[in-house]
Amino acid sequence: MFPNRMAGLLIGLLCLVRGEAMALSLDEALTRAALAPDVLSSRADEEAAQALASAAGQLPDPRLVLTVDDFMLEGESRYRFDGSKRMLGVMQELPAATKREAERQKAEAVREGSARAREFAQLAARREVSLLWLKLHFLTRKEALLKVSADEIQRRHKVSVATLAGGGGADMALEPLFDRQEVDDAFDLLTRDLQVVRAGLARWIGPLVPNETASGELPAWAREAVVSSADAARAPGDADPETELRASKARIGVAEAEWLMARADKSLDWSVEIGFGRDAMGQSMMMAKVGLSLPVFPDSRQTPRITAARAMLVSAEAEHAMRKAEFTRQREELLADETALCARLDRLAVETLPLLDRAISLAEAAFSSGKGSAVALIMAREKRLAAQMRVIDLEAERAAVRTRLHFLQQRGGETS
């Protein structure tokens, strides 16, 4: 709680000093995303797995054994230790080498899996922060355009009122009022969306300054067409370079190690014990024992565990294949979305906006010559503003699609 209060206090001081809304760059947001709770949790898991891997496959600690034999409970020597055999020894268990090797392999697989999980957590945090920042960026642009649209409607309303006073139709004076209500509704929805986006960003990067906006240009991956990973050069020897698939494949390694450990349970374990002491006559003596495990009931003990571990391995392989297929489906779907959005934006830029510009020019010429009305000119400008708003919506969709594609195809270990 204390760090959160300090962060809130610093934010408040910054607002008082600047007296204006602060802006958040994408680079700053991504830097703060490195401290997201999900990332910190996965990083701690990786550190724990690394520590456990260093201790895997070691021999168990030896045990100190104190033995008292022939301790009498009756007769003249009862309850006397000096009349019994006494021995102090050390016992060392020696698990089979195959078991210790399997334990090391499992620990290494878990460590590798935790590293892949940490990479994926970092990638997910960066992806979500990027998507939210893009939403904030485009919502800020929409807010500015809505203000311009509201001004145009206000001008049209004034012109319509003047026309009504000069004998014009009442419907033209009322129409701007209805349009203004629609703009007010759009402002309410935009305010809600801004609050939702800021709350989403706060979940990943901590508290934001009130009314904080997005600053800076769009990232390169949102401005440029994404190359399909099917056409991209693959790293030699790595069939699944993408971070998400690497995280899924790491689970197969853990399942394989579990299967090896289950099979190693059939190996023989040894134990050695050496002791030194004195007998009842006070003479020195030595004792040596060798123990050997006897897995004589494999059908009811080891075999079921081997079968279960094998089934878990098959399950992990099937899950990876499922994720790989889903990965391909998502990629192709996003590429199709990007193609469609680019086509629509090109049509707006090449056909629609030039036509609207032409309509504005004609309306201006008609108004200047006295053959057209100011209302017609304002309405032509409003149509262009509506088209610009549509452009922003489509650009926001395309940027989100390209961002998802970028992080979907992110190679393992990359963070940019």
pLDDT band at residue 397 using 50, 70 and 90 as cut-offs: very high
What's the pLDDT at 177? Answer: 81
What's the pLDDT at 318? Answer: 92
Token pair belonging to 205: 């990067």
Residue 226 falls inside a structural domain: yes
Judgement on whether residues 278 and 387 belong to the same structural domain of the protein = no
Listed residue (127, 37, 135, 117) closest to 330, CA to CA: 127
Highest mean pLDDT (candidates 167-176, 238-247, 249-258): 249-258
In whole angstroms, give the CA distance from residue 327 to residue 319: 12
Phi/psi at 19 (nearest 5 deg)? 65, 20
What's the pLDDT at 4? Answer: 45
**Mean pLDDT of all residues in 392-415:** 84
Token pair belonging to 362: 């004609």
3-state class of 91 per DSSP?
strand
Residue 358 falls inside a structural domain: yes
What's the pLDDT at 377? Answer: 86
Residue 180 falls inside a structural domain: yes
Residue 7 predicted with pLDDT over 80? no
Distances (CA, A) of 252 to 257, 370, 393: 9, 78, 42
Token pair belonging to 25: 């760059």
Judgement on whether residues 68 and 133 belong to the same structural domain of the protein = no
pLDDT digits (tens, 9 = 90+) for 344-383: 999 999 999 999 999 999 988 888 888 878 888 888 888 9
Per the model's pLDDT, the better-predicted residue between 8 and 121 turns out to be 121
Tell me the residue range of the domain where 338 lies: 23-56+110-264+310-408
**Mean pLDDT of all residues in 133-152:** 92
**Mean pLDDT of all residues in 227-238:** 46
Judgement on whether residues 48 and 72 belong to the same structural domain of the protein = no
CB contact at 8 A, 401 and 337:
yes
Judgement on whether residues 291 and 361 belong to the same structural domain of the protein = no
Note the maximum CA span of the chain: 137
Judgement on whether residues 88 and 176 belong to the same structural domain of the protein = no
Query: What pairs with residue 287 in β-bridges?
Result: 275
| 4-18, 46-60, 183-197, 201-215, range with the lowest pLDDT | 4-18
Q: What mean pLDDT is reported for the chain?
A: 83
Residue 43 falls inside a structural domain: yes
In whole angstroms, give the CA distance from residue 88 to residue 285: 11
Judgement on whether residues 172 and 236 belong to the same structural domain of the protein = yes
pLDDT digits (tens, 9 = 90+) for 266-313: 888 888 988 888 876 778 888 888 888 888 887 778 888 889 989 998
- Looking at 275, 300, 325, the residue that finishes a domain is 300
Judgement on whether residues 229 and 271 belong to the same structural domain of the protein = no
- Structural domains counted in the chain: 2
What's the pLDDT at 163? Answer: 66
Residue 101 falls inside a structural domain: no
CATH number at residue 368: 1.20.1600.10
Judgement on whether residues 209 and 349 belong to the same structural domain of the protein = yes
What's the pLDDT at 50? Answer: 92
pLDDT band at residue 17 using 50, 70 and 90 as cut-offs: very low
- Looking at 281, 300, 319, the residue that finishes a domain is 300
Judgement on whether residues 148 and 47 belong to the same structural domain of the protein = yes
pLDDT band at residue 167 using 50, 70 and 90 as cut-offs: low
Residue 228 falls inside a structural domain: yes
349 secondary structure, DSSP code? I
Residue 236 predicted with pLDDT over 50? no
pLDDT digits (tens, 9 = 90+) for 218-228: 998 888 876 65
In whole angstroms, give the CA distance from residue 127 to residue 330: 15
**Mean pLDDT of all residues in 400-416:** 77
Judgement on whether residues 140 and 181 belong to the same structural domain of the protein = yes
Judgement on whether residues 126 and 183 belong to the same structural domain of the protein = yes
Residue 36 predicted with pLDDT over 90? yes
pLDDT band at residue 172 using 50, 70 and 90 as cut-offs: low
pLDDT digits (tens, 9 = 90+) for 57-113: 888 889 998 888 777 677 676 767 676 788 889 999 988 888 888 889 889 999 998
Judgement on whether residues 145 and 289 belong to the same structural domain of the protein = no
Residue 175 falls inside a structural domain: yes
Residue 138 predicted with pLDDT over 90? yes
Residue 416 predicted with pLDDT over 90? no
Per the model's pLDDT, the better-predicted residue between 283 and 401 turns out to be 401
What's the pLDDT at 166? Answer: 56
Residue 193 falls inside a structural domain: yes
3-state class of 167 per DSSP?
coil
